[in-house]
Amino acid sequence: MSPKSHRRSFRASASVAPLAFAMFATCGPGCAPPSAPTQQSDGESRRGPKTNFGEGADTPKVGAAKVGVAAEAAPAIEEAPGVDLAKLSPTQRTMFFQLLSTEPSACGKPHSLATSLNEDATCRDSMIVAQFMADRLAGGATPGDVKEEVVGVMDVLRVREIPVEGRPVFGNPRAPVTVVVFADFECPHCRAEAPVLRQAVQQFRGQARLIYKHFPLSMHPRAKRAAVATEAALAQGKFWEMHDQVFAHQDALEDDDLMRYAKEIGLDMAAFEAHYEASTGLAVVEADRKDGDTLGFSGTPAVFVNGREYTPALFGGTVEGWIDDALRR
Q: Which of 205, 210, 209, 249 is nearest to 229 (CA)?
A: 249
Q: Beta-strand (E) ranges in 130-249?
A: 169-171, 177-183, 208-214
pLDDT tens track, the chain, 329 positions: 444 444 343 443 434 433 333 334 677 654 655 544 443 333 333 333 332 323 333 433 433 344 344 444 445 678 899 999 999 999 999 999 999 999 999 999 999 999 999 999 999 999 999 999 999 999 999 999 999 999 999 999 999 999 999 999 999 999 999 999 999 999 999 999 999 999 999 999 999 999 999 999 999 999 999 999 999 999 999 999 999 999 999 999 999 999 999 999 999 999 999 999 999 999 999 999 999 999 998 789 999 999 999 999 999 999 999 999 999 99
Packing angle between helix 255-264 and helix 239-248, nearest 10 degrees?
A: 130
Q: Beta-strand (E) ranges in 27-176?
A: 169-171
Burial 201-234 (b: 16+ CB within 10 A, else e): beebeebbbbbbbbbbbebbebbbbbbbbbbbbb
Structural domains of the chain in order of their starting residue, each with its CATH number = 3-158 (no CATH), 169-302 (3.40.30.10)
3-state helix, strand and coil shares in percent for the chain, rounded to the nearest 5: 45, 10, 45
| DSSP conformation class of 237 | T
C-alpha span between 166 and 1 (Å, rounded): 41
Give the pTM: 0.80
What are the phi and psi torsion angles at 149 (to 5°)?
-70, -30
